[in-house]
Amino acid sequence: MKTEDKRQPVLVTRPSMPELDEYVNELKDIWDARWLTNFGAKHEAFRKALISRLGSERVELLVNGHMALELGLKALGLESGEVITTPFTFVSTTHAIVRNGLTPVFCDISPDDYTMDVSKIEDLITDRTVAILPVHVYGNICEIEAIQDIADRHGLKVLYDAAHAFGERYKGVGIANFGDISIFSFHATKVFNSIEGGAAVCRDGAVSEKLRLLSDFGISTETDIDETGANAKMNEFCAAMGLCNLRHLDREIEKRRQVTCAYRERLEGVKGIKLNPLQDDVESNHAYFPIVVEDEYGMSRDELSDALNEEGIFARKYFYPLTSDCGCYKGRFDPAATPVALDISKRVLTLPLYASLDEETVERICKVILK
Ligand code: T4K
């Protein structure tokens, strides 16, 4: 493993990238074809590669994970009503609901794995509830069976925000295969990236087809415009990057696993530092390394974050504030209605984690925490 330059800041993440030659090789085809976007050859090749990787035929590629969420809700035909979701996520999840004219209803999270607390979902269901939108936050898998059971009993759609969960398996099944739709983010900062990009995997072929239309202005044929769509297509350059990175994904995940082991060796058992749980039945992609700073640590999360910053280490407060507490939603929701999520959001710190993070840097980071 290459040792990092000590003068360089240590960022929370760095994108995985192929060798330049490998990407340039893909670009040559794009130059030859003079086809840059609108469902070109790279788009189709990447989509096919994902179909085989994810184990589902109904994969649609989008410009980013956010549009996969936003258009996914629209493709499910949800035009009004309430969506039960978590506030402990990136703002995109909540924005996607609101931007569809739907109302988010926030469910508290489990203090164990920070996903939606399923025991609290049913109390939130009203005659206006149309869907559940859980998040596999940090790649921690939600209680899938319980959520589906509730959805089936109440006739609700389920859309999983699986932005953090690409490449994971639950009880041996690829994580894309749950809910009515599962969406992924291929943003530069994710385990797997196509520079910017996203995908939606649909249970139903008609939903998948609608999503594809919605990503291209709703254009069915030159003269038939059948949906009020947007422009959310993945371009050829992003698809080419996705094709390259997909070839190396397993190796990248293995490197990330080694980094998380290095952290665990040093931080397991440290008083007041709670590590992310290892979930049974889950093949993890090691997307994030969140720690929760408890009172016994003797320093607050913010003080620890500042101490790390002073050493040039830029951990991040994913996810603080709760989305229900964001400036644009002030006064609209009550963050105190989800007390566990509120508490965790004030204590959580996500440590640097990426495939090329070397052990010496992990040691440096842990030394600050252990001090
Ligand atoms: N749902 C969930 C649960 C999500 O977490 C996200 C995105 C979405 C939906 C929406 O998916 P996308 O539409 O984004 O595909 C970052 C990402 O922009 C965002 O994709 C991600 N979640 C979120 C958790 O993190 P920021 O504002 O923290 O990004 P930024 O620019 O501060 O970058 C983070 C670190 O990465 C920095 O230390 C710098 C480093 N970095 C970043 C980029 C872009 C690099 O080293 N190279 C780079 O190219 O949001």
Q: What is the pLDDT of residue 4?
A: 53
Q: Label the pairing between strands 173-174 and 129-133.
A: unpaired
How many whole angstroms from 220 Cα to the centroid of ligand 1? Answer: 33
Q: Which helix (H) or strand (E) holds 283?
A: strand 282-283
Helix and strand totals (H; E) in the chain: 11, 17
- pLDDT over 60 at 79, yes or no: yes
Cα(188) to centroid(ligand 1), Å = 7
Alpha helices (H) in 117-222, listed in sequence order = 144-154, 205-214
pLDDT at 7: 64
Q: Which of 108, 178, 118 is nearest to 340 (CA)?
A: 108
How far apart are the C-alpha atoms of 10 and 361, rounded to whole Å? Answer: 8
Ligand 1: centre distance to CA 189 (Å): 5
User: How many angstroms is it from 211 CA to the middle of ligand 1?
Assistant: 24
How far apart CA 167 and CA 256 sit, in angstroms, is 13
Ligand 1 atom nearest to CA at 318? 24
Burial 111-146 (b: 16+ CB within 10 A, else e): eebbbbbbebbeebbeeebbbbbbbbbbbbbbbbee
Q: What is the pLDDT of residues 341-356, one digit of tens each?
A: 999 999 999 999 999 9
pLDDT at 8: 84
Average pLDDT over residues 129-147: 98
**Consecutive H or E run containing 60:** strand 59-62
> What is the layout of strands, in order, in the sheet containing 282-283?
173-174, 169-170, 282-283
Mean pLDDT computed over 195-204: 98
Q: Distance between CA atoms of 324 and 126, rounded to whole angstroms? A: 19
pLDDT tens-place string over residues 308-337: 999 999 999 999 999 999 999 999 999 999
Q: 3-state DSSP helix/strand/coil percent for the chain, to nearest 5?
A: 40, 20, 40
d(CA 146, CA 341): 20
pLDDT at 1: 40
Q: Nearest C-alpha to atom 26 of ligand 1 is from which residue?
A: 189
Cα end-to-end distance, the chain, whole Å: 26
CA distances from 371 to 270, 297, 363 (A): 11, 11, 12
Closest ligand 1 atom to the C-alpha of 135?
A: 3
Question: Tokens in use for 29?
Answer: 């085809």
Ligand 1 atom with minimal separation from the 198 CA: 15
The Cα–Cα gap between 103 and 333 comes to: 10
pLDDT band at 6 (very low <50, low <70, confident <90, very high): low
Counting ligand 1 atoms within 8 A of each CB, the residue from 13, 90, 238 with the most, and so the one to mutate, is 90
**Which residues, at least 6 apart from 271, have a Cβ–Cβ distance to it below 8 Å?**
296, 297
Q: Mutate which of 93, 142, 189 to test ligand 1's pocket (most atoms within 8 Å of Cβ)?
A: 189
pLDDT (tens digit per residue) in 12-54: 999 999 999 999 999 999 999 999 999 999 999 999 999 999 9
DSSP 74-113: HHTT--SSEEEE-SSS-HHHHHHHHHTT-EEEEPPB-TTT
CA of 6 relative to ligand 1 center, distance in Å: 24
Residues lining ligand 1, Cβ inside 6 A: 11-15, 64-66, 89-90, 92-93, 135, 161, 163-164, 185, 187-189, 198, 314, 318
Which atom of ligand 1 sits closest to the CA of residue 66? 13
CA-proximal residue: ligand 1, atom 7 (nearest): 90
Among 64, 69, 187, 345, residue to substitute to test ligand 1 (most atoms within 8 Å of Cβ): 187
Dihedral sign (CA 364, 368, 369, 371): positive
**pLDDT tens digits, one per residue of 222-281:** 999 999 999 999 999 999 999 999 999 999 999 999 999 999 999 999 999 999 999 999
Q: Which atom of ligand 1 is nearest to the CA of 96?
A: 9
Quick check: 163 pLDDT over 50?
yes
Distance 242 CA to ligand 1 centre (A): 17
Q: Which residue is closest in CA terms to ligand 1's atom 36? A: 13
pTM higher than the cut 0.85: yes
Q: Which residues have a Cβ under 8 Å from the Cβ of 31 and sit 6 or more positions away?
A: none
Which residue owns the Cα nearest ligand 1 atom 23? Answer: 90
Q: How far is the CA of 126 from the centre of ligand 1 (A)?
A: 34
User: Hey, is 263 helix, strand or coil?
Assistant: helix
Q: Look up residue 21 and give its DSSP letter.
A: H
Among protein residues, the one with the nearest Cα to ligand 1's atom 45 is 14
CA 350 centroid distance within chain: 14
pLDDT value at position 2? 47
Q: What is the mean pLDDT of residues 277-300?
A: 97
- Expressed in angstroms and rounded, the spacing between residue 331 Cα and the centre of ligand 1 is 27
What's residue 137's pLDDT?
Answer: 98
Residue 280 has a CB neighbour count (10 Å cut-off) of 7
Q: For ligand 1, atom 17, which residue shows the shortest CA distance?
A: 189
SS (H, E, C) 290-318: EEEECHHHCCCHHHHHHHHHHCCEECECC
H/E element, 362 = helix 359-370
Q: Determine if the peptide bond prior to 314 is cis (ω within 30°).
A: no
